[in-house]
Structure 1
Amino acid sequence: MNLKGKKKYLVVLGMLLSFFCSAQEASSSDESMFNQFQELSSTDEKLNFFFNAEDLYRENSTYDWLELITINLNAAIKNDDQEDLKRFQLMQARIFYDLGDYDKSLAINKELFEQIDDLDIYLSSKLLDLMDDNYGKLGMYPEQIDTRKKQRELGIMESVPFYDIYSNLGMYRRAMDDYIAYEKKNIEEDDYFGQAEYYNNLGNFLRLDGSTPTALGRYKKAKGFIDVFLDNVTRKKSKKVHEEAELLKGVIEGNIGKCHVDLKQYEDAIPYLEKSIKRIKENTTRGYSSEITENSLAISECFLQLRNYSKATDYLSDDLRTYTTDNLLQKNRLLAMYYEMTEDFKNSNYYLRKNIRVRDSISENESQLRQQQLSTVMIQDLKLSQDLLAEQKLALEKQKNENLAMDKRNSLVLISLLFTLLGFAGLVYAYLKSIKNQRLIAEQKYIIENSLVEKDSLLKEIHHRVKNNLQMVSSLLSLQTKNTRSKAAIEALEEGKSRVKAMALIHQKLYQNEDLSVIEMQSYIESLINSVQSVYKKGGHNINITVDAEGVELDIDRAIPFGLMLNELVSNSFKYAFPHGDENGKIYIHIRKTGDQEGFFEYSDNGVGLPVDTEERASTSMGIRLMNRLANQLQTTLNIDRNLDDGVRYWFNFK
């Protein structure tokens, strides 16, 4: 059966399946699905019922189904019925997946995959979907990509998405870009449920990438869409659809609450987290879920920060299940914080040591494996892109050959009519020459575009290597710091390391961007602040930092001076602006474009301000001299407002 025939077969099978499921639901609403399955006569009907029934394990447990499928499987082996054997093996593999035994499920999948050329398109589709799920659970991302490529080859998928794999590997910005390119075009404007899911996922990528304020905006947009969907009484919704919408709303509310926690807005976070936990429990049959665990840990942190210990311990109860290592580490951290606040230092130390043991138990090879997987995924991604380009090139070559053949036929016709159409010869000659020129232009354009793609790849590699070299310089400075006893030397080395990191971050943002010519300043400044905070571990974490640079993009010649200047200003604020504590500290960073080629920069804090002898120190302070030189590179002058009631303000216009 060719690909076109397989697609028709899949469509027809889907229609029959829908009719079959509807008929079964209408005829036996009171009969358990377990009994309905056993009463079906053919194995294909059982396969369709098994993979398309809703809440299969409602009346009977997973182990009951495993025993039933195993009995049918043994009967197929006894009767030597290879077709029934394949179908019951696939059902058995699905049950092992639902039990969480992914290795056993995958072993059955691999055995069936060896016979995939003999399977029909429907069975192949279910097999490859299950293999994809198993590889994802086991973190076998290169194999997951191979599975999706096979789905594309069989016509099951039109294109191969990578955003979930990139996200699992920690490349959240790349995952978001791939997700937007793959999913945005498939969502209709009036699909409010789909829009809510879309913006919630965008918020997840941004929050994991550290852009919490931007993520909060996406989550609030998602909540607006799901509220519209639930409030729309003109469109009928089944009970299942309504429960799914309520569940999604609970997840979104939890994400909004976690953003407020990240922003240290604990009183704002608590109502969202409480509503989220309640809504998820009311609308899921899975009992405890990972979302409930995450929200419980987040709300516990809020109550701890607000010194409401009884509420905090309610959410940190012993029966709170932790689904991931991160959940466990966070729970232990919060318990250690609680015991430290209540001056039970013995228990506090116990949970801190417990976290150390958990971290130590994670193999060092895991990070190396993650790097290898990332490298393999990137190579697979590049190879897939090259394959798509090769296919397009072959299609263009085929079209070109067809055009050439058509030209030859036209030439023969023109020659045969030459003696009767001499009066039109000049026009025909000009027409043919025009077509030839257009082809030459198209071919040259194709060559130029390929050259630009290759140069972009090389430029990204250069930025990546420059970033790696700067990170090596930063590591060398760190080693030198450990071997230096002079406090002044250590501070100088730390400042140098911070400046190197600021430049490395520029190159990192460049090679992660699709557009290599500019840097999006909002994301860069947020990442730079996180980098500076990691250097000054004892200060700066309670300062309210506002960054207003949304939509501003700068080229590398202007971004590097900006980054180094911001590094100096933020470092000075952390070190000197708040000597009595930074609980009420505020920093405001503002960049805007005032014209096509002009802009305005402003930096201010509400600290103790500049000392009286600032102008005298300017000639000897490396930081002030560096900022003045950086301003000169931007063809401007750094202005300082010293006569404020509190704090200091720096500003300048730039081109």
Structure 2
Amino acid sequence: MLHYKTMRKLLKKFLHATLLCFFIISGIYAQDSLDLKPKVFKEFKLLDNANTRFNFFFNTPNRYIDNSAYDWLDSVNLYLNESEHNNDSIAVQKYSVVQSQIHYDLGDYDKSLAIAKELYVKKENLGTDSKLIVLNLLDTNYSKLELYAKQIEIRKEKKDLGITENIAFYDIYSNLGLHRKAMDDYFKEEKKFIAEDDFYGQAVFYNNVGNYLRLDKSTPTALSTYKKAKGFVDIYLNDVTKIKTEKQLSEANHLKGIIEGNIGKCHVLLKQYKDALPYLERSVATIKEFNAGKFSSDAVENTLEMAECYLHMDDLEKTTDILSNTITPIKTDNILKKYKLYASYYNRTGDYKNATAYLNKVIRIKDSVSLNQSSLKKQQLAAVVGQDLEYSKKMMEQQKQALEDSRNEMIAKDERINIVFISLVFLLLGFAGLVYAYLRIIKSQRLIVEQKHIIEKALVEKDSHLKEIHHRVKNNLQMVSSLLSLQTKNTRSKAAIAALEEGKSRVKAMALIHQKLYQNEDLSVIEMQGYIESLINSVQSVYKKGGHNINITIDAEGVELDIDRAIPFGLMLNELVSNSFKYAFPDDNADGKIYIHLRKIIGQEGFFEYTDNGIGLPEDTEVRAEASMGIRLMNRLANQLQTSLNTDRTAEGVRFWFNFK
């Protein structure tokens, strides 16, 4: 009997295990069947030769998103060994270039440099694409390893090969501590080549300028420069008129992450730790997303800056979590910063033994660096300055030679002209010249008139199209308002009806903007006095009830705002007026007053004020603000105007005001 029960238990366990395995296998199969998109790494391995793998590797943005760089390196090493075994020199070359790039992406700059140098010894066998990649790897690796003299040699090689027109030294000067000189040279060398509509190039330019300013301790100026760079990269990413490749979008988003990290660093330097954290967190997340699998000094630095913020905010738990999970730094400055943060952390927690240990590490590293850094930096600086002077001297000699050649050419041309003039009849030549000049003038004037006519026609058509667009947008918004009205009629819930009415009021506020735009001669701005009056009438039609005697005074004559300011302003005013009608005057016989004041002078800050003499705000206004959609909406709209909404409680009623740019 006991044996029979034991057998039954074993049989049940076997059946349960079998069913569990069946469900697990079925789930895995279903998951694989749903994952129809091939992984990047799998797609790379499915390619059949070195050339296609080479092109796929360097043309794939965010290639380490599915598998780590170490997985790629293992596969490339296998392909490289196989190519060496088959004596396929071209494949060996291609895989070696990829191998060097992966080591660079992992932050192993010594290994990447060694492979690149070995490749460049046989540069005559390298293809054009491979040669450019190898030169760039040599350049960046020398920079990371602070071998600036070698870096200049590579840049000379690039110029000799026609890859670059000039040899730049500004980044090297910055690495040697001469940040102001680096910025001056950068402005002189690069600004003239960036087109006004090249928003990505503008973002890169102002980010680099911000770096030089930040490193030169000009933090407030650097912060404004970084924000300018962020504005350009946002325009680039939001510009739907230009088609962008996946690689371009990935690079732009990665750049945006770096810029936001730099903004966060500036806030840390200004001791604005709460302001810094959102930028730093977004930066680290963006860099990890669009630079997946690659070692990034920016990500390491921004993570350490986050730890510093939490340390100063006395959130020690998050501080130690971040420090424990940070990627091991490579740069000496980052290593020192991490040890200093650990020392401060242990000092605050009372663990003075560990705090002393980390401080000793900091001192040892500083002593080790200071022994060689000063003399090495002087040698490096002397080498760079010498190369810079040599390059400037060569440029002057080339310019001098060009001027001499031009002068000789002018002399020769003069001699030829003299011979021609002697050979020709002076009167005939002069007459022919006058006729030719006269015909050219007539032709030029005709072209000018035609082009002027075309431009004027294009401007008229553009204005007509813009008015049509604003008219259609207004009609669409009115359609949305009508749909909300229909929904209101089919809704019984009072709360839902109130929410729909509020939504309809906000839609009408936006529709009025576009109505005013297509009615204006000038499509770029809105005359605010008329708009506010129309908005008040619209709100009154929804909320004003019989018995109210509300006197509304609007003081906004002569103020014009563009659409980017007018829409958030209109929505905010819609909320304020609606709140006054709904809550400020509960007594139907009250003599209510609302005063709206708006001023904006070109070149100065604008001012907005809204007051009513109603019952005022309740005592728990701040608590309600967390749950009130209207108040949260007004605060977000104020952020769009780059300001904050201020509230003053008066003896009678309430006052809202803010300044704006």
Q: TM-score, normalised by structure 1?
A: 0.52
- Aligned residue number for residue 199 of structure 1: 206
Cα 1:167–1:74 change in 2 (3 A) is farther
Instruction: Quote how far apart the aligned CAs of 1:367 are.
Output: 2.3
Give the Å deviation of 1:145: 1.4
What amino acid is the match of 1:76?
N
In the TM superposition, residue 129 of structure 1 has moved relative to its aligned partner by 2.3
Shift of residue 370, structure 1, vs aligned partner: 1.7
Report the AA paired with residue 202 of structure 2.
Q
Please give the alpha-carbon distance, in whole angstroms, between the structure 2 residues aligned to 1:176 and 1:324: 23
Compute the displacement of 1:196 (Å): 2.5
Structure 1 SS opposite 2:164? coil
Pair 396,319 (structure 1): closer, same or farther in 2 beyond 3 Å: closer
Q: Which residues of 2 match residues 319-330 of structure 1 at below 5 A?
A: 319=326, 321-330=328-337
1:298 paired residue number: 305
Q: CA deviation at 1:62?
A: 1.0
Instruction: Please state how far the C-alpha of 1:71 moved relative to its aligned partner.
Output: 1.9
Aligned partner of 2:355 in structure 1 is 348
Whichever residue aligns with residue 72 of structure 2, its letter is S
Could you tell me which residue of structure 2 aligns to residue 480 of structure 1?
none
**Conserved 8 A contact 1:267-1:302:** yes
- 1:198-229 deviation digits (Å, cap 9, x = unpaired): 22221111111111111111122222233334
Residue type at the aligned position of 1:201:
N
CA-CA distance at 1:382 after TM superposition? 1.4
The aligned residue for residue 179 of structure 1 is 186
Larger relative contact order (CA 8 Å, sep ≥ 6): 2
Report deviation, 1:157: 1.2
Residues 547-581 of structure 1, C-alpha deviation per residue, up to 9 Å, x if partnerless?
xxxxxxxxxxxxxxxxxxxxxxxxxxxxxxxxxxx
Which residue of 2 is the match for residue 652 of structure 1? none
Residue 333 of structure 2 aligns with an amino acid whose one-letter code is: D
TM-superposed CA distance for 1:295, in Å, is 2.5
Shift of 1:246: 3.9
Alignment of 1:219-618 (within 5 A): 219-233=226-240, 235=242, 241-286=248-293, 289-317=296-324, 319=326, 321-362=328-369, 364-411=371-418
User: Which range is displaced more, 154-163 or 310-319?
Assistant: 310-319
- Given that 1:303 and 1:312 are in contact with CA atoms closer than 8 Å, whether structure 2 keeps it comes out as yes
Q: 1:70 to 1:172 in 2, by over 3 A?
A: farther
Give matches, 1:136-155, under 5 Å: 136-155=143-162
1:108–1:157 Cα change, 3 Å: same
In structure 1, the partner of 2:166 is 159
Residue 536 of structure 1 is matched in structure 2 by none
Check conservation: 1:141, 1:165, Cα contact below 8 A.
Answer: yes
Counterpart of 1:225, as a letter, is: F
Cα 1:140–1:292 change in 2 (3 A) is closer
Counterpart code for 1:158: E
TM-score (structure 2 length as normaliser): 0.52
Q: Find the aligned partners of 1:108 and 1:38 in 2 and give their Cα distance.
A: 26
Contact kept? 2:346, 2:354, Cα under 8 Å: yes
Task: Give the Cα separation in 1 of the matches to 2:327 and 2:105.
Answer: 22
**One-letter identity of the residue aligned with 1:386:** K
**2 CA distance for matches of 1:296 and 1:47?**
33
Find the counterpart in structure 2 of residue 67 from structure 1.
Answer: 78
Contact 1:116 1:124 in 2 (8 A): yes
- The 2-side partners of 1:234 and 1:248 are apart by 20
Partner of 1:19: none
Partner of 2:220: 213
Partner residue of 2:474? none
Deviation, structure 1 residue 262 = 1.1
Given that 1:203 and 1:218 are in contact with CA atoms closer than 8 Å, whether structure 2 keeps it comes out as: yes
1:50-65 alignment, distance < 5 Å: 50-56=57-63, 58-59=66-67, 60-65=71-76
Q: Counterparts of 2:131 and 2:327 in 1: how far apart (Å)?
A: 40
| Conserved 8 A contact 2:63-2:292 | no
- What's the offset of the Cα at 1:68? 0.6
Q: 1:115, CA displacement in angstroms?
A: 4.3
SS at match of 2:181: helix
Contact between 1:73 and 1:88, CA under 8 Å: does it hold in 2?
Answer: no
The Cα of 1:139 is off from its aligned counterpart by 1.9
CA deviation vs aligned residue, 1:249-270 (integer Å, no higher than 9, x gap): 3332322222122112233333
Q: Is the 8 A contact 1:213 1:259 kept in 2?
A: yes
**What runs of 5+ residues in structure 1 fail to find an aligned partner?**
1-27, 425-655
Residue of structure 1 in register with 2:87 after alignment: 76
Q: CA deviation at 1:328?
A: 2.1
Partners of 1:96 and 1:277 lie apart in 2 by 22
Q: Is the 8 A contact 2:106 2:294 kept in 1?
A: no
Measured at CA, do residues 293 and 319 of structure 1 come closer, stay the same or move farther in structure 2, by a change above 3 Å? closer
SS of the residue corresponding to residue 207 of structure 2 reads helix
Tell me which residue corresponds to 2:3: none
Contact 1:94 1:105 in 2 (8 A): yes
Evaluate the alpha carbon distance shift between residue 118 and residue 39 of structure 1 in structure 2; reply closer, same or farther with a 3 A threshold. Answer: closer
Q: Deviations over 1:462-497 (max 9, x none)?
A: xxxxxxxxxxxxxxxxxxxxxxxxxxxxxxxxxxxx
Aligned pair in 2 of structure 1 residues 122, 281: CA closer, same or farther (>3 Å)?
Answer: closer
For 1:387, give the aligned amino acid: K
Higher mean alpha-carbon deviation, 223-232 vs 128-137, is at 223-232
In the TM superposition, 1:612-627 aligns within 5 A as: none
One-letter amino acid matched to 1:353? N
Deviations 1:37-78 (A, max 9, x none): 77546x65555445434455555421211221232134226x
In the TM superposition, what is the alpha-carbon distance from 1:383 to its structure 2 partner?
1.0
Secondary structure, counterpart of 2:399 in structure 1:
helix
**1:288/1:321 contact within 8 Å kept:** no
Distance 1:228 1:115, change over 3 A: closer
CA contact (8 A) 1:297 1:331 kept: yes
Q: 1:50 to 1:337 in 2, by over 3 A?
A: closer
Counterpart amino acid of 1:272? Answer: Y
Name the CA distance, whole Å, in 1 between partners of 2:278 and 2:241: 30
Mark the CA change 1:342 to 1:133 in structure 2 (over 3 Å): closer, same or farther.
closer
Rg larger for: 2
Q: State the Cα distance separating 1:372 from its structure 2 match.
A: 0.8
CA distance in 2, matches of 1:416, 1:245: 64
- Segments of structure 2 that go 5 or more residues without pairing to the other structure are 1-35, 430-661
Q: Conserved in 2, the CA contact under 8 Å of 1:254 and 1:277?
A: yes
More deviation in 140-149 or 399-408?
Answer: 399-408
CA RMSD of aligned residues (A): 3.6
Preserved contact between residue 172 and residue 205 of structure 1 (Cα < 8 Å): yes
Alpha carbons of structure 1 residues 398 and 29: separation in structure 2 relative to 1, 3 Å:
farther
The amino acid that maps onto 2:138 is M
Distance 1:241 1:49 in 2: 16
Q: Per the alignment, do residues 181 and 76 of structure 1 end up closer, same or farther by CA in structure 2, a change over 3 Å counting? A: farther
Instruction: Go from structure 1 to structure 2 and tell me whether the alpha carbon gap of 1:44 and 1:190 turns closer, same or farther (over 3 Å shift).
Output: same
Look up the SS of the partner of 1:157 in the other structure: coil
Distance in 2 between residues matched to 1:254 and 1:199, nearest whole Å: 14
Conserved? CA contact 1:69–1:91, under 8 Å: no
